[in-house]
C-alpha cells in the first residue's frame, strides 16, 4: 500500500521524561530518515538509517538517538526530553537512498514537551 | 545562512490562475532539486524532481532549472483549491548517497475562488 506510518500522532511529555517515536514502512525501503519541522526553520534532518543497525547523524542529532532493528521499523528516542525539542517530527523512507529517489513521508508526530 | 532559499514566502492565486515559485541554492554543490508539497496536517509529498537544465513538465506542474545560476522555479498552471499548500524546494549534491535532502523554508500557496 506504499505507506509510512508514524505513532503516536500527538504526544505530550514533561521535561526530563523519555520519549519514543515510532515509524514503520511497508515498502521494504532500505533508507529511512527522521526530520523535525519548526516554523522559520523548515525541515531539518536528525538521523539517517541506511539499513538495519546502520545509522548516521544528520544535521541536528544532538539530544536524539535512533534504533533500527528491522528494515521496516525506525525509532527516534529522546532521552530526558527538553522543551526545545517541542516540534513536529517526520519519518521518511526511500528505496535505496539515491538522490533520484523520492522520499515518502509519514503524517508526522506532534510532540509537546512541557 | 539557509542553503536553499525560497521566494515568495506566501502567494495568493485565483482559481484557474498561474502560481510561480522560486528557489535558489547558495551551495554550488547542490545541483539536484526536488519540489515537495505539504497539505495542512500531513507530511510532505514529492511533486517532481529536476536534475537537468531546462524545463520539465508533469501535468499542470512545470519546473525549470538553470544550473549556472542554481535557480529552480515551479509553475502551477490552472491552479485549483487543492493546490493550496506549503511548497518546499529541496536540494542535493549529484553524488550524494543517502544523505537526505536540504529543504528550503517553503512557500505557502493559497488558491482563492
pLDDT tens sequence across B3-55:
899 999 999 999 999 999 999 999 888 889 999 999 999 999 999 999 999 99
What confidence tens digit (pLDDT) does each residue in A48-100 have? 999 999 999 999 999 999 999 999 999 999 999 999 999 999 999 999 888 78
CA distance B113 to chain A (A): 27
B54 exposed, middle or buried (CB, 10 Å; 0-12, 13-18, 19+)? exposed
Q: Which helix (H) or strand (E) holds A13?
A: strand A10-13
Nearest Cα residue in chain B from A30: B98
Interface of A with B (CB under 8 A): 4, 31, 33, 35, 40-45, 48, 50, 56, 58, 90, 92, 96-100, 102-108
CB contact under 8 A, B97 and A45: no
> Nearest Cα to B33, choosing from B11, B8, B3, B60?
B3
Amino acid at each position: 500500500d506504499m505507506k509510512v506510518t508514524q505513532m503516536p500522532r500527538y504526544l505530550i511529555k514533561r521535561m526530563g521524561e523519555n520519549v519514543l517515536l515510532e515509524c514503520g514502512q511497508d515498502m521494504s525501503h532500505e533508507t529511512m530518515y527522521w526530520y523535525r519541522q519548526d516554523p522559520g526553520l523548515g525541515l531539518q534532518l536528525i538521523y539517517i538509517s541506511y539499513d538495519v543497525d546502520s545509522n548516521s547523524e544528520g544535521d541536528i542529532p544532538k539530544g536524539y538517538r535512533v534504533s533500527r532493528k528491522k528494515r521496516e521499523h525506525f525509532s527516534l528516542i529522546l532521552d530526558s526530553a527538553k522543551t526545545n525539542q517541542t516540534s513536529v517530527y517526520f519519518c521518511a523512507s526511500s528505496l535505496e537512498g539515491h538522490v533520484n529517489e523520492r522520499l515518502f513521508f509519514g503524517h508526522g508526530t506532534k510532540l509537546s514537551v512541557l | 545562512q539557509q542553503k536553499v532559499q525560497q521566494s515568495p514566502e506566501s502567494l495568493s492565486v485565483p482559481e484557474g490562475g498561474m502560481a510561480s515559485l522560486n528557489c535558489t541554492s547558495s551551495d554550488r554543490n547542490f545541483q539536484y532539486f526536488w519540489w515537495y508539497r505539504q497539505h495542512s496536517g500531513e507530511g510532505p509529498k514529492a511533486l517532481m524532481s529536476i536534475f537537468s537544465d531546462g524545463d520539465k513538465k508533469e501535468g499542470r506542474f512545470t519546473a525549470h532549472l538553470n544550473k549556472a545560476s542554481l535557480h529552480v522555479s515551479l509553475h502551477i498552471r490552472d491552479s485549483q483549491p487543492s493546490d493550496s499548500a506549503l511548497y518546499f524546494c529541496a536540494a542535493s549534491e549529484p553524488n550524494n548517497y543517502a544523505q537526505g535532502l536540504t529543504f528550503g523554508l517553503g512557500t505557502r500557496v493559497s488558491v482563492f475562488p
